[in-house]
Amino acid sequence: MKKVSISFKVLLPATVIAIFFLFSCQTGIKENQNSYAEDRALIEDLQARYMFALDNDDLDTYILTFTEDGILDIGEGEWKGRDFIKNLLSSMPQEEPAVADSGLHRTTGRHNISNIVLKIEGDTAWGRAYWFHMSNENPQRKPQLNSYGHYEDEMVKVDGEWLFSKRKIYNEEIAKWAAPEGNPSW
């Protein structure tokens, strides 16, 4: 009996302390996994993969950067849902001249993102960023800036993966797509 009694007296405080530290450690790990840096790193990767898919006509990958019911707004109203966005984009005319016509190597277009501002709360994030586009549709295949603007994004974390729930694109070249005055960031 005595032996059992002592063991219990030993185990009880040890267990209390154990549970306390279990929570302490778990909190430490959790803060790590949900840290600003961790989320920002994943979102930066998302933003970059979006560009690669967009510029390389990889619509299947592009569309997977949005949530199932994600919204794309290029200034023509809200296009909602992966299928809807994909159908609209795939029906757009390709501007690139055929390689066969020129005798030169194919032309390319490149969207670049910069100045990424991110506010993150739990599984939701709000982003602001600049974009600018260059292409080389000339006989020298020399890069030319074509257009620029900024993004206003909403993103959500779904099953550990950050996705666009809404991307609103402003384009300073076209009057109806240009941003209003004022700082869209914070």
Restricting to residues 13-52, which ones interact with a second copy according to CB under 8 A? 13-15, 17-18, 20-22, 24-29, 31-33, 35-38, 40-42, 44-45, 47-49, 51-52
Choosing from 89, 136, 154, 163, the residue that interacts with a second copy (CB under 8 A) is: 136
Choosing from 80, 86, 110, 168, the residue that interacts with a second copy (CB under 8 A) is: 110
User: Residue 64 in contact with residue 52, Cβ under 8 Å?
Assistant: no
Distance CA 6, CA 2 (A): 6
Q: Does 175 sit near a second copy (CB under 8 A)?
A: yes
User: Smallest gap, in angstroms, from Cβ of residue 79 to a second copy?
Assistant: 22
Q: Does 157 sit near a second copy (CB under 8 A)?
A: no
The interface region with a second copy, picked from 8-16, 67-75, 80-88, 154-162 by CB under 8 A, is 8-16
Choosing from 80, 141, 157, 168, the residue that interacts with a second copy (CB under 8 A) is: 141
Distance CA 162, CA 127 (A): 12
